[in-house]
Structure formats: structure tokens, C-alpha cells
Amino acid sequence: MQRVRKSGILLHPTSLPGPGGIGSFGSATRHFIDFLHRSGQTLWQVLPLGYTSYGNSPYMCYSAFAGNPLLIDLQQLVEEGDLTAVPLPDDLSSDRVDYQQVIDTKLGVLHTAAAAFFAGGRTVRMDEFWHFCDTTPWLHDFALFMALKELYPGMSWSDWPEEIARREPAVLEKVSEDLGSRIGELKYQQWQFFRQWREVREYAIRQGVEIFGDIPIFIAYDSCDVWANPHLFHLDKGGRPTVVAGVPPDYFSKTGQLWGNPLYDWDAMAQEGYAWWIERVRSSLDLYDLIRIDHFRGFAACWEVPYGEKTAINGRWVPGPGEALFSALSAALGDLPIVAEDLGHITPDVEALRDRFSFPGMKILQFAFGSGPNNPYLPHNHVCSSVVYTGTHDNDTTLGWFSSLSAREKKMVLRYLDCTADGIVWSLIRTALASVADTVVLPLQDLLELPAEFRMNMPGIAGGNWSWRFGKNALTAKLAKRLLELTEIYGRARTL
């Protein structure tokens, strides 16, 4: 079978320009897709689109299924009649996302829109809404969970009244009635999120662009999923984790990383035929054409740390579900368009699991230099079944990365790329596109040659992440032409 070479851009929708203090599914989304089209790109990679919780990280959400209502385009609600105008303050930041300010203002506007929608009586849109409610199995639990989060502010679900935490049916029925109005508003938000994203995806398809999504392997403890399915996680009788996720000490950290996510009870998952994971991947395939699974090595074995530990030192490797999970997913869903995030401590069993299902792995060029010519991230060691990045959302920008290197390391990079320091960013982009790997994804920050302060995330730092936005005039015709020329040279451009 002939291999298809393709390339695209990594950009989370929150980073799009426009009014409202945060990127949305509005006109700027279409303009970005148009830019991808003009520059010959066929992929748009996004971070998880979930309803973010503490820290605003798309990798820490209240649900593995629900969407982030902050991405809803309010102008479309005006056009549909749910709003008479977009009443947002003029002082919302345009270059960084001030999440608290956006949450305080935008969710209030969505409250107003929902009230107008429900006051409108029986309409075609209302029928569409009720069809969404009736055919979305996770929706009611999620809306109830979020309404309860508001009723008991600042409390984890395990600290709610015991009969609610334990989900006694009669009690849940009663609180659902009591909170019915708010639950309806939350369902309205999810309906608008998914219908607007569906329109974005349809527009991308017409422009020859596939959406490349992202699934975190683990989920947040204080999430609807754990509250609704406690038997699928390692929890004690009080509903608190007995063990949590992390990674062991290594060269980068003497104490490892303590993530704190609850760990799956894979035996319980297997007894149910991995139904929860099947529905999770099925719902993701409704959103995306291709999916990256974060921390893929956790399916072979994960680092299990006893709950209450202050660091990840006292953990142990515990086997994951391995082939059984992906065989179940394949049987239920067919071919799996999955990319394995195989970075970090990768052992032969992880590689065997990845290769057993022909999942491409990842190659990060910023990791390629400094350990000799056998480094697997160096382009001359790449394999076709890979996705190459200059850097990911967790990396510095290429300009910031290069600036942080020692004089010796800079010399090594420049010798390999055969370029000068002034041309480092586009030389690394060219090197990525020239790779034998089938797929290349470039962070937009690198295409714009931005320095370190414009990176998306600084792992291990609690504040200030996920907030970068680009300017409305950044995607120029000159930039599109430059990217298109390189994409065509290396056989990655689709036919315009």
C-alpha cells in the first residue's frame, strides 16, 4: 500500500484570536482552517477539548466526554436568537487568556442564552436539543455532577453528603428534580458545544483538513467519570484513591512526578468488556479523524504510587491491560486511527504493544541532539510510521529551546542542520518536513518564530499555562506561501 505523506499544525482552539478573551468556534476557526488549506496542510492537531477543571489544563477535566463551553461561539447564539447581543466587557485580554475573567463573564452569558432558548417553546431546535439529550448517555450524570459542584462549592464529590456521593438512586432522582433548571442549562451548553464543533469539523472536511485530537490516558479524580463509575477505579470504601498515577525518578527529577490521578481497576474494566473505554474512544472518533493517546506506555505498565505519598519515589510498575484493551477496541470500533505518545521511559513491551496494532509513535526534534548519532529522534534514524514534531505543547518554542542550550550544544545542532543561529527555526521546520516519517506536525508558535514566553505549557509549573493566543494578523499570505513551498518540496502537500 502506498504511504501518504502529510503535515499539519498544532494549535489549541483557545489560542485563536477574536473577541471574548478566548478562542472559540467562531469565524477565526474557519480562517485558520482556510490558512491550513492555502498552505497545503491536511492536519489540524488540537489538545483535548474537555471541560477543564483546576488549573485550566485540557489534560485535567471534569469529564472524559463533555466539551468545554468556553469554546462556544457567542455570535452564533445571537444569529440563532438565543442572545440579542454579545454582552462581554471590552477589556478582555486579546493576547493571553485570563481564565477567571472569561469564566466569570462567558458562563453568565451562556446562562442568559439558555434561559432564552427554553423560554422559546417547541421549535425545531428544541426537538434537536431533546434528541441530543436522549442519545447522549453520559449527559445527565455530567450535568447533575456539575450542578452539584455548584451546590457544594470547593468540595470534591467524595465530601458531598454520603447518600449523594454513593449515588443512592432515590436521592439522585430527588436532587435532579431540585436542580432541574440548572441541569437543563448545562445540557444546553453541551448541545451547543457539540453542534458547533460538528460544523467546524464539516468545514474542515470541505477544505481537505483532518482533525487530529488527543485523549489523556488518565482522568481527574474529582470528575463525573469517577463519581459515576467508582467500581472502575482503585478507591477505598470512602471513595478516595488507594493508589495514584505518576512517573518514577529519572534524570530530570530525583523524586519523579506525582500526577495524582486515580488508577483504573483494569480487572473490573475487563469484566465489563472495557465498555467505558470503548465509549470513550467512540465518542472521540465522533470528534476527530485521528487521535493521539497521551502516556501510551501506561497501557503496558504504569507507575503506581500509594495515595498520600508526597513524591513519586515510593511507587512501583504495575502491568496495564496491554493487548486485551486494544483488541476489544478494535473488535468494537474497527481500525483504530491512533497515534501512541511513546515518549519518556519506553521499554520493549511498550514498543511491542504499539507495533502490534501498527500505531505510529512520536519523534520530537528538540530531543534529538546531545547523545550521539544513534539518538532515535535524529531525522536519519526516523521510521515511516511516526509523527514528527519540532516540539509539542509541553516543549519550549524552538527559538526558546535553542536559546537555552549551551554553546557546545548549539554548535552541535547547527552542524547537524547546516544552518546559522539566525535560521534555526525554519531549518528545524525544514528538517521535520524532510523526514521519512509519514506525518509532521508543527506548533504554530514555531511557524511564527516566537520566543520562550509564548510557549503553551511549562510542565511542573502551576500557573500561567494554556493561555497563549496569537494575533489576528499573524497568518499572512507570505507565511502560507513559505510553508506551502516546503510542504510541496517534501511531498506532503495535498492538491490545491
Give the phi and the psi of residue 181 in degrees, each rounded to 5.
-65, -45
Give the phi and the psi of residue 74 in degrees, each rounded to 5.
-70, -30
Please tell me whether residue 411 adopts helix, strand or coil conformation. Answer: helix
Distance CA 34, CA 40 (A): 10
394 included as an active-site residue: yes
Q: Of 214, 341, 342, 438, which residue is the catalytic one?
A: 341
Which grid coordinates are listed for 239?
471513595
The strand pairing partners of 52, in sequence order, are: 61
The span from the first CA to the last CA of the chain, in angstroms, equals 24
In order of 22, 24, 27, 88, 187, the CA distances from 102 in angstroms are: 7, 12, 19, 9, 20
Q: Of 98, 159, 279, 294, which residue is the catalytic one?
A: 294
Distance CA 199, CA 336 (A): 23
Q: Of 265, 351, 394, 449, which residue is the catalytic one?
A: 394
The candidate with the shortest Cα–Cα distance to 18, out of 8, 27, 10, 7, is 27
Strands (E), 79-130: none
294 included as an active-site residue: yes
Distance CA 279, CA 269 (A): 12
341 included as an active-site residue: yes
What phi-psi label fits residue 154: left (phi over 0), alpha (psi between -120 and 50 degrees) or beta?
Answer: left
Distance CA 432, CA 429 (A): 5
Residues known to be catalytic: 294, 341, 394
